[in-house]
Amino acid sequence: MSTEAQQAADPGRQVVLVVPGMGSDHCAGIIRRTLERQSGIASIDTNIGNHHVTVTLADEGPDQGALQTAVEGAGYDVAAVETLGADDEALDDTALEQAYLDAARRRLWIAGVPTTLIMLLMMPHMFWQPIPGYLLIVAVLAFPVVFLAGGAATHRASWRAMRNREANMDVLISMGSLPPYLIGLVGFIYPMTSFIEMAATIMTFHLLGRYLETRAKGQASQAIRRLLTLGAKTARVERDGVEQEVAINELQPGDVMVVRPGEKIPTDGEVIEGESHLDESIATGESVPVYKASGDNVIGATMNQEGRLRVRATKVGSETFLAQVIRLVEQAQGSRVPIQEFADRMTGRFVPLVLVIAAASLIVWLLFGDGLRPILDWGAGFLPWVNPEAATPVLAILAAVAVLVIACPCALGLATPTALMVGSGVGASRGILIRSGEAIQTAKDLKVMVLDKTGTITRGEPELTEVEAADGVSEETLLHLAASVENASEHPIARAIVDGARERGVEPVAVEGFRSLAAHGVEARVDGRPVMIGNAALLREAGVKGLDTLEQALDGLEARGRTAVLVAADGEAQGVIAVADTVKDESAEAIRGMHALGLRVVMVTGDNERAARAVAEDVGIDEVQAGVLPEGKVDAIRALQARFGDHVAMVGDGINDAPALKQANVGIAIGAGADVAVEAADITLVRGELSGVVEAICLSRATFRKIVENLVWASGYNIAAIPIAAFGLLHPMIGVIAMTASSLSVIGNSILLRRVRLQD
């Protein structure tokens, strides 16, 4: 078996084809339907943003040659094809895309120069003085335009498509340019109106439209191209005690990299020496530099601002954060929105219907031209290109050709993918990674936002919050005693007390006789004094005096959801210290933003009722479900879906949140959390801030609004323009200009998404 066949037979492998001519979802639909006729294919994904067709193979799937032949048989040239394994990096076709744009520009020049000469000759010939040999001159000038510059590829694609029983946009252009040119040649043997100028103009404007669309789509999808250029190209690593510069693709996990001020972090890693501030705006959208020191994780492609760092590489190649972002953005741009099914049904039937309408227009004008002339008489009053005096066969040809060229469903096919390209790019620049188009459509109708507490609303780690000293005891003394004892413990609450004391300028000292008291507390000698720390029951059992004076403070702290411990020394109560998982600074504002969007906010947490309600009151949560086990979160989501329909989103960050994120109609992962939660989510917030939820919902709504605007404009344009063309009121050359303008307006409307204001 050949290597190619072995690859094809390996299930899960992917074949990526670069199809530059796949310019809209209509084209993508034709390619998908063509490939679906092949056996052994698990899935087909098309992305008009990068012109990729990704075919996932099943058992005994076709080889890449067969797939390329099938796509070319549908009328589309394949610029590159590659078979990828599960761990292979995606195909980088930036150079191919640029070559395609350059070729489109070259074809436009080859067509544009002769067509301009034709127009310059046509004006004096028609309105001033007939030019001897005009028809021959025009036929010679138009020949390379219609048959060579763009015509060769267009007609070849048209022939392939019809032979494959498909009707793409090239078919409409071929039928709009070939018949007029050939009919115009009849003028050499029988005097009649020349249509050759119209054929050349139609093809030239078609090529202009393709070139402008390619440029505009390049602008719409520039997020991916920008991301691809962000990474460092080389890294300075320590090997055998010597610093040496290596290509980025030669890095291995475990390599120690040296990053100087002003340099990019070559790849994801952990700081092992040094401290600095990093500009992480490319990953998070946050312009404020982030402090990094030994033990902190860093992201590849972020900028080191001032200090020298030694960083151990932890992820390289396709596993890096930047590579994953690129993958997610490409996945979003290539995904399909449910509303697109409507557009697909329309475009799938559109071209055959247009051919029928064009043929009907030709026949009706030939048979009933005199009866239709009053329409032209009316139109001539305000449309300068309408000529009621033209011969009936001329009017019939003009009407049929106008229908063909005005009805190209380019704009309809571009409506959804261009909005997704721009929207996902805007999201990536703000640290919002949208995995699928379906999430965009679903997010607009959300009614309920479910939030996990720990790590989502709160910071996810305990902090020292209150210190209540007993009468006659200073706060400093209380912290000195507590921190010194707790410094010998590794318990999270103990670490929070020690860290909090140090932040307040109190350093712990060495203790003697440290002993843990079976989950109730700890004791040790500090500066010769016996100190005990624990709950009220432990200290009462030990006969500690003065606890009654602290009872009110203890009850108040616990009522607010704090974890409070009592401190005693020499058998006397010294005070109360409280620890809590504190609320993130932006949580309350973010929840207010959710309320402003009309969302009901529900907290579902495994914490106890008192702690959960204390946090809920602080930030304005509408409903609390506490004491919920990980498996119970899925049931909680289902219960909310039963109450509010399929309009429930879930935000979480831990491994235990992954099932609930999957169950929710839209799963939103805090990017700073567990990888499994990120993988389970539809939307990932890289910054790890709850405020990103509001931005994500606003972006989703704005993107879907653009999709609807584009679809309404594109379909309305065709519905209105086809009857006008069929009645002879639209000249084909005006039609092809309007067709191009329609496609560009859809792309331009999508690009306006870059200006969308996301609620902060």
pLDDT score at 674 = 42
Instruction: Summarize the confidence of residues 690-712 as an average pLDDT.
Output: 87
Confidence of residue 229 (pLDDT cuts 50, 70, 90): low
Average pLDDT in the chain: 79
What CA–CA distance (Å, rounded) separates 194 from 205? 19
In the predicted model, is pLDDT for residue 5 greater than 80? no
Candidates 668, 655, 660; CA nearest to 697 is: 668
pLDDT tens-place string over residues 343-359:
666 666 777 788 888 89
Residue labelled with tokens 């018949």: 179
pLDDT score at 72 = 81
- Residue with the bigger pLDDT between 413 and 485: it is 485
pLDDT score at 568 = 92
pLDDT score at 225 = 57
CB 525 within 8 A of CB 512: yes
CB 741 within 8 A of CB 212: no
pLDDT score at 9 = 41
pLDDT score at 394 = 82
In the predicted model, is pLDDT for residue 171 greater than 90? no
Confidence of residue 478 (pLDDT cuts 50, 70, 90): very high
In the predicted model, is pLDDT for residue 695 greater than 70? yes
Strands 242-247 vs 432-434: parallel, antiparallel or unpaired: unpaired
pLDDT tens-place string over residues 570-581:
999 999 998 887
How distant, in Å, are the alpha carbons of 60, 353, 374, 398 from that of 368? 58, 22, 12, 15
pLDDT score at 673 = 46
pLDDT score at 602 = 93
CB 332 within 8 A of CB 437: yes
| Phi, psi torsion values for 494, nearest 5 degrees | -60, -45
pLDDT tens-place string over residues 238-257:
887 788 888 888 888 888 99
Residue 517 DSSP label: -
- Residue with the bigger pLDDT between 91 and 709: it is 709
What CA–CA distance (Å, rounded) separates 270 from 254? 10
What CA–CA distance (Å, rounded) separates 6 from 61? 10
- Residue with the bigger pLDDT between 494 and 168: it is 494
pLDDT score at 1 = 34
pLDDT over 90, % of the chain = 11
pLDDT score at 684 = 81
Cut 0.75: pTM above it: no
Instruction: Summarize the confidence of residues 15-37 as an average pLDDT.
Output: 78
pLDDT over 70, % of the chain = 82
Active site residues: 452
DSSP-based three-state secondary structure for 193: coil
Q: How would you list the strands of the sheet with 256-259, edge to edge?
A: 242-247, 234-239, 256-259, 309-313, 269-273, 297-298
